[in-house]
């Protein structure tokens, strides 16, 4: 209902003139942006570029949720903050920067972050949710809360040099995060950016893409990433998109769901990941091995070495190494007893992130010889099997 949209002042029409000049946006699109309420969860590497672009774009109300404080090692990628805000609440620091960037913007501060207890009430006050969090527990919580609140969720994630973006929008018939990854990885097997490193500029790309998808949703232009997972390989400078559909067996949005509420216990981050980085007792078994070394060990000792591929079925359908055991990461806790403890287990995934989680998880549960295949099947395809289909 355009008539119910806010009227833009001369100052706003001037400020946003480069948007308004775009036929697809125009004055009406800009008024839609002014009416919109967007919640950015996480004032970090992704939330910084996402919130800055949304604020500059003329979003009317921007909520920012985070419970952490600014730390110096955040500043390499978290552009909302500066050296003077070290030690301050990230939300306070972010709100100051966002208000300074656009006087027409209303900023709502959620310093308590998003929890299973407050998510429903907070999400209710927004039109679009942007997930800029960096851990699995938060992603599942945000996904489920957005589903129950019937709000579109703009998902983004980064790992080392790789990014992913998707829009989960059940009201529009789209799939959710659990359609891709039905269950969180086991508690305690969840390292975030704090343990693995991430290129700051990559966060800029992914967070900017999230703001772009948000603007598209609000102005109803273009083709949103609903039912498509966009992946970005910063080293190769390659974007790819993969279509995925609603999963009938999804525990959240499938035909016979098992999740009906936001249960706090489901989203416990569990033990601290750092605990699982102590690999000293494994002696000569390296935590990570190269694909070349994995190939050598597999060829030399087929009976002593087992390759375990922890990717999802839709991924192993694209490409796989033969022979290998296929056990999606989410099934590792219930199926790990099948894995032999007298073999050297080589854990493989797409780029080496999920498999590193699984490697730590299995080591912490008494498997004496487990190594992560560094670089995953992408590195394998590049170095061992060039004919393999990549994604
Ligand atoms: Zn789903």
pLDDT digits (tens, 9 = 90+) for 66-96: 999 999 999 999 999 999 999 999 999 999 9
* Ligand 1 center from residue 125 Cα (angstroms): 23
Kindly state the DSSP code that residue 194 receives in the 8-state scheme. H
319 is catalytic: no
Give the span between the Cα atoms of 27 and 346, in whole angstroms. 57
What are the C-alpha distances in Å from 360 to residues 139, 215, 356? 20, 39, 6
* Ligand 1 center from residue 264 Cα (angstroms): 19
* Ligand 1 center from residue 141 Cα (angstroms): 13
Judged against a pLDDT cut of 90, whether residue 256 lies above it is answered with no
DSSP-derived 3-state class of residue 128? strand
* Ligand 1 center from residue 251 Cα (angstroms): 7
Q: What are phi and psi of 40, to 5 degrees?
A: -105, 120
* Ligand 1 center from residue 248 Cα (angstroms): 8
Confidence of residue 130 (pLDDT cuts 50, 70, 90): very high
Q: Is the peptide bond before 152 cis (omega within 30 degrees of 0)?
A: no
Beta bridge partners of 64: 40, 109
What are the C-alpha distances in Å from 284 to residues 296, 353, 355? 16, 22, 19
Q: Which of 176, 203, 250, 349 is catalytic?
A: 349
Tokens of 292: 């070349």
* Ligand 1 center from residue 241 Cα (angstroms): 18
Give the span between the Cα atoms of 275 and 270, in whole angstroms. 11
Q: What are phi and psi of 388, to 5 degrees?
A: -65, 140
Residue 235 vs residue 367, higher pLDDT: 235
End-to-end CA distance of the chain: 41
* Ligand 1 center from residue 259 Cα (angstroms): 10
What mean pLDDT, rounded, does the chain reach? 89
Q: Residue 227: which residues within 8 A CB-CB, separation 6 or more?
A: 174, 175, 243, 244, 245, 246
Residue 270 vs residue 5, higher pLDDT: 5
253 is catalytic: no
- Which helix (H) or strand (E) is 162 found in, with range? strand 162-168
User: For position 135, what pLDDT does the model report?
Assistant: 85
* Ligand 1 center from residue 171 Cα (angstroms): 12
User: For position 1, what pLDDT does the model report?
Assistant: 45
* Ligand 1 center from residue 175 Cα (angstroms): 5
Place of tokens 């960096």: 134
Number of alpha carbons in the 13 Å side-chain half-sphere of residue 104: 24
Neighbour count for residue 241 (Cβ, 10 Å): 13
Lowest mean pLDDT among 41-50, 164-173, 311-320, 333-342: 333-342
Give the span between the Cα atoms of 229 and 52, in whole angstroms. 23
Neighbour count for residue 259 (Cβ, 10 Å): 19
pLDDT tens, residue by residue, 21-74:
999 999 999 999 999 999 999 999 999 999 999 999 999 999 999 999 999 999
In this prediction the pTM is 0.70
Q: Which of 176, 193, 250, 319 is catalytic?
A: 193
DSSP 233-249: ETTTTEEEEEE----TT
* Ligand 1 center from residue 88 Cα (angstroms): 37
Whether the CB-CB separation of 229 and 241 falls below 8 Å is answered with yes
């Amino acid at each position: 209902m355009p008539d119910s949209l806010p009227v833009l002042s001369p100052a706003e029409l001037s400020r946003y003139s480069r948007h308004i000049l775009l036929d697809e946006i125009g004055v009406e699109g800009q008024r839609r942006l002014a009416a919109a309420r967007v919640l950015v969860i996480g004032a970090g590497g992704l939330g910084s570029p996402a919130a800055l672009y949304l604020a500059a774009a003329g979003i009317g109300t921007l909520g920012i949720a985070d419970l952490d404080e600014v730390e110096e090692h955040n500043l390499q990628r978290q552009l909302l903050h500066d050296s003077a805000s070290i030690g301050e609440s990230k939300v306070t620091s972010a709100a100051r920067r966002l208000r300074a960037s656009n006087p027409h913007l209303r900023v709502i501060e959620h310093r308590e972050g998003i929890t299973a207890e407050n998510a429903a009430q907070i999400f209710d006050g927004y039109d679009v949710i942007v997930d800029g969090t960096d851990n699995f527990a938060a992603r599942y919580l945000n996904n489920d809360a957005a589903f129950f609140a019937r709000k579109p969720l703009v998902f983004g994630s980064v790992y080392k040099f790789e990014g992913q973006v998707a829009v989960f929008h059940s009201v529009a018939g789209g799939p959710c995060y659990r359609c891709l990854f039905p269950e969180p990885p086991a508690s305690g097997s969840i390292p975030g950016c704090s343990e693995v490193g991430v290129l700051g500029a990559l966060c800029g790309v992914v967070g900017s893409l999230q703001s772009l998808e948000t603007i598209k949703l609000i102005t109803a232009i273009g083709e949103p990433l609903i039912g498509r997972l966009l992946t970005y390989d910063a080293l190769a400078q390659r974007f790819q998109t993969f279509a995925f559909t609603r999963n009938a067996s999804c525990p959240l949005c499938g035909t016979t769901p098992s999740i009906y509420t936001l249960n706090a216990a489901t989203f416990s981050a569990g033990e601290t990941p750092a605990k699982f980085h102590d690999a000293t007792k494994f002696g000569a078994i390296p935590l990570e091995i190269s694909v070349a070394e994995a190939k050598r060990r597999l060829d030399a000792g087929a009976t002593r070495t087992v390759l375990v591929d922890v990717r999802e079925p839709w991924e192993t359908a694209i490409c796989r190494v033969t022979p290998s055991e296929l056990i999606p990461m989410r099934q590792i806790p219930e199926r790990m007893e099948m894995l032999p403890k007298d073999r050297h287990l080589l854990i493989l995934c797409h780029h080496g992130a999920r498999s590193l989680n699984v490697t730590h998880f299995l080591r912490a549960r008494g498997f004496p010889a487990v190594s992560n295949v560094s670089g995953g099947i992408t590195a394998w395809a590049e170095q061992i099997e060039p004919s393999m289909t990549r994604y």
